[in-house]
Amino acid sequence: MNERAGTAFNLAASWYVALPSAKLKSRPKAITLFGRSLVAWRNRSGRPVIADRACPHMGASLADGKVVDGELRCAFHHWRFDGDGACTAVPGLDRIPRGARLRTYPTAERFGYVWAWYGSREPMFGLPEFPELQRDLHFPLGFRFADMTGATPRRIMENTYDPDHLVELHGLDVSGACTMRLVDDPAELPGNGPRIETDPWFGAELSWPSYAGNLGRVTKLLGTNAKRFVLRVDGWPSGQRITYLADGVPQYKLLLATTPIGPNRTVQHIAVAIAPTGRFLGDLRKYLIHRPEVTFTSNQDIPIFNTIEPGDRHGIYVDGDRGMRGFRKYYQHWVDKVTEDA
């Protein structure tokens, strides 16, 4: 795809998951991201590097090359490139040809993922922190999974701000109304994590009363029903930190993030850190409740994402769409920030 491929699918300037950290080891890794063919490797210090995959010499795939002293060596003619994309060596030449360099992307590595910045040559904001995900998400205190979807990143992100679908699609049978309010001040979301920079931040709080019907009977039997459930959400254009509380007590924290491969081809990433009880059996019980709950809910969304109309259309809005409309306006603000050389 061409240099402007990212804007073809309404991609916001932001941090995106490039790949899980565990998949980037000692060899270069071919990835497709932002509609572009890229390559990832680790430099001398182990920092991830993401760059154009085609060698500027003859166009050979650099993913077929080898990492030598932290530099990527092309398999075809052994041209070498450092972590900044500069060509450092050409066999038989003392002078490096002009223009012999790769386009690289700003990267960060946190929470078990390698992240890449899209939208400008330098990041417009730092990747937000998520302390609970800094520890290993080992059983039974956490889990993660990923699903390929036929949706756009905006479609996946905005889903959180749609309370009506919780009731209708996910069958959230509750004893009253499910409500959502957009939040103007991060201080209104205590416990979600270190404050995100003001400009990229977007926050909301969803809440609903105790479960009713069959769901109420099951959760009462499991001892997991409550008088009030709350989701505190804050994030950036392509990611969200979510805290799930029952009667004010945190149950788990969830990261929602995306990998935009191409138009209407986006990987949805979910990582969950379960609030520890201090007892193995208590942690195991929460794991056995929340893992199926989160997985089942996500699995209900995937068929919708895979068959939804392509692109980021709008449509007919109703009162329950206020949060989603607010997010769409915010997201488009970050699409408009993408520079021509992104």
Q: How far apart are CA 3 and CA 54, in angstroms?
A: 13
Where along the chain do its domains lie? 5-118, 131-335
Read off the pLDDT of residues 178-195 as tens digits, 9 standing for 90 and up.
Answer: 999 999 999 899 889 999
What Cα–Cα distance (Å) separates residue 46 from each residue in 71, 134, 183? Answer: 11, 18, 39
Instruction: Please determine, looking at this structure, whether the domain spanning 131-335 carries the CATH number 3.40.50.880.
Output: no
Q: How far apart are CA 308 and CA 320, in angstroms?
A: 19
Q: What's the pLDDT score for residue 8?
A: 62
Read off the pLDDT of residues 62-110 as tens digits, 9 standing for 90 and up.
Answer: 999 999 999 999 999 999 999 999 999 999 999 999 999 999 999 999 9
Q: Which element (helix H / strand E) includes 255?
A: strand 249-262
Provide the whole-model pTM. Answer: 0.94
The dihedral sign for the CA sequence 123, 129, 133, 135: positive
Q: What are the DSSP calls for 96-118, one per residue?
A: PPTT-B--EE-EEEETTEEEEEE
Model confidence at 3, in pLDDT bands (50, 70, 90)? very low
Is the pLDDT reported for residue 338 higher than 50?
yes
On whether the CB atoms of residues 58 and 93 are closer than 8 A, the answer is no
- The amino acid occupying position 286 is K
Helices (H) and strands (E) in the chain, counts: 5, 18
What is the total residue count of the chain? 342
- CATH number for the domain running over 5-118: 2.102.10.10
Alpha helix locations (H) across 28-152?
none
Q: What's the pLDDT score for residue 47?
A: 97
Is the pLDDT reported for residue 176 higher than 70?
yes
